[in-house]
Amino acid sequence: MSSTGDTHCCECVGDCLFEVTDCATSATALVDDSYGYLPSVGDFVAWSDGGSTYCGEVTDENQSGSAAGSVTYSGYTDCADCNTNEGL
């Protein structure tokens, strides 16, 4: 077994994609962390697609694909907390 030394730490370079389950619809979306909130599985976050804001729970991390938007806040206690603070 050979190692190329090509270890990638997506949190280190900020290109992780996170799967978020939407609080309102239970649909999932992939979002990036371009603002540096460093969410983890189980965190409740707000995210934006550039036009609308959504609330959801991070259900997976280190995903590949295309981001539907970016995390704009992490640290809510639950969906209700996120919805209230984001005006949803």
Domain membership flag for residue 2: no
Residue 26 to residue 11: CA distance in whole angstroms: 26
Domain membership flag for residue 29: yes
- Look up residue 80 and give its DSSP letter: H
**What is the count of structural domains for the chain?**
1
φ/ψ (deg, to 5) at 5: 75, 20
If one compares 86 and 11, the residue with the highest pLDDT of the two is 86
Domain membership flag for residue 7: no
pLDDT of residue 9: 57
Q: pTM score, two decimals?
A: 0.84
pLDDT tens digits, residue range 21-48?
Answer: 999 999 999 999 999 999 999 999 999 9
Domain membership flag for residue 77: yes
Name the pairing type of β-strands 69-76 and 17-22: unpaired
Residue 27's domain comprises 15-86
HSE-CB of 3 using CA atoms within 13 angstroms:
4
DSSP string, 14-28: T--EEEEEETTT--E
